Amino acid sequence: MLHFNKIKPFKFLSFTITIVLILLTASCSKTPDVRLTLCQELTELLLNSPENLEWQDHKPIIRGYNDLEMQVSYSLVDSDATAANQASCFYTYIQDQDAVGAEEFNAPTSAYSTYPIKMILNGKSVGKNKLANLVNLAMVKQGKRAVVKVKETVEQGIETINEEVGSQLEK
């Protein structure tokens, strides 16, 4: 049984706060635009998640107050196909046109929805019902990944705290 009274309370508290801050910082790291990530995941789902999928390039095409087009290019490694493979996801402009905030200035795509209204894969339009189902599948997939990541981060934090407590008890 651990006896925390052997550990100097101030050092233990500072250590614990430091670990919590490190874990929070790590879990809030910079990630790619959610519209890009979703478009890539929708493409993977439409292609039945091939292992030989390799992302080539991506670019947002912003047309003012009209829809944002997020284009992603990919290739299928070890495939005989030589045609350019491309997916485009379209997002609606949602920001109040009179209010241009700092967030929109720093990340222009933040003024657009995160749910695509239309998708085109290799020149063929994806039906609205199929797109809605694919978005739901992608959200479930992302949610599962997020839960696993949080679980791993918490386990690492607990392990680090246990190591520190053990080393403090040995002193």
What is the residue-level pLDDT of the chain in tens, covering all 171 positions? 455 555 555 555 555 555 555 555 544 545 678 999 999 999 999 998 778 889 999 999 998 888 899 999 999 887 666 567 999 999 999 866 554 554 445 578 888 999 999 999 999 999 999 999 999 999 999 899 889 999 999 888 898 898 888 888 887
Instruction: Please give the Cα distance from 105 to 98 (Å, whole number).
Output: 13
89 backbone dihedrals φ, ψ, rounded to 5°: -115, 140
* Residue 12, pLDDT score: 56
The neighbour count for residue 21, using CB atoms within 10 Å, is 10
* Residue 39, pLDDT score: 95
Answer yes or no: are the C-beta atoms of 6 and 169 closer than 8 Å: yes
* Residue 51, pLDDT score: 82
* Residue 66, pLDDT score: 87
| pTM of this structure | 0.67
Q: Is 155 helix (H, G, I), strand (E, B) or coil?
A: helix
Report the candidate in 32, 53, 12 with the shortest Cα–Cα distance to residue 114: 32
Instruction: Please give the Cα distance from 72 to 77 (Å, whole number).
Output: 16
